[in-house]
Amino acid sequence: MQSELHVVVGATGGTGTALVRELVRRGHRVRAVSRGGGGGGPGVDAVAADATDAGRMREVCAGAAAVYNTVNPPFDRWTEAFPAAVRGTLAGASSAGARLVFADDTWMYGRVDAPMTEATPVRPVSAKGVLRAWLAEMVLAAHARGDCPTVIARAGELYGPRVDSVLGPALFGAAAAGRPPRWIGALDRPLTPTFVEDFAGVLATLGGVPAEDLGRVWHVPHPAPTTGHEFVAELRRRTGCRAPLVRVGARTARVLGLLWPLAREGAELVYQFEMPFVVDGSAFAARFGFTPTPYAEGIARTLGAAPARPAAAPA
> End-to-end CA distance of the chain, in Å?
55
DSSP state of 9: E
Give the pLDDT of residue 230: 97
CA 150 from chain center: how many Å? 17
pLDDT tens for the 315 residues of the chain, in order: 357 999 999 999 999 999 999 999 999 999 999 999 887 788 899 999 999 999 999 999 999 999 999 999 887 788 899 999 999 999 999 999 999 999 999 999 999 999 999 999 999 998 899 999 999 999 999 999 999 999 999 999 999 999 988 899 999 999 999 999 999 889 999 999 999 999 999 999 999 999 999 999 999 999 999 999 999 999 999 999 999 999 887 666 555 554 555 555 556 677 788 899 999 999 999 999 999 999 999 999 999 964 433 333 332
- Residue 293 is predicted with a pLDDT of 98
CA atoms of 76 and 18, how far apart (whole Å): 24
8-state DSSP, 226: B
Q: Which helix (H) or strand (E) holds 65?
A: strand 64-69
| CA atoms of 57 and 63, how far apart (whole Å) | 12
* Side chain identity at residue 179, one-letter code: R
The SS3 call for residue 176 is: helix
Angstrom distance (rounded) from CA 180 to CA 183:
10
Query: Crossing angle of helices 295-305/196-206, nearest 10°?
Result: 100
C-alpha to C-alpha distance for 35 and 259, rounded to whole angstroms: 27
Q: What 3-state class would DSSP assign to 109?
A: helix
Name the pTM for this structure: 0.92
Contact 183, 230 (CB under 8 A): no
Residue 126: CB partners within 8 Å, gap ≥ 6? 107, 110, 268, 269, 271
**Cα(22)–Cα(293) distance, integer angstroms:** 15
Cross-strand pairs, 103: 153
Q: Please, are residues 103 and 69 in contact by the beta-carbon 8 Å criterion?
A: yes
Cβ-contact 184, 245 below 8 angstroms: no
pLDDT at 272: 83
Helices within the chain (DSSP H only): 14-25, 54-60, 78-96, 127-145, 174-176, 196-206, 228-239, 250-256, 261-266, 282-288, 295-305
Contact status, residue 99 vs residue 152, Cβ threshold 8 Å: no
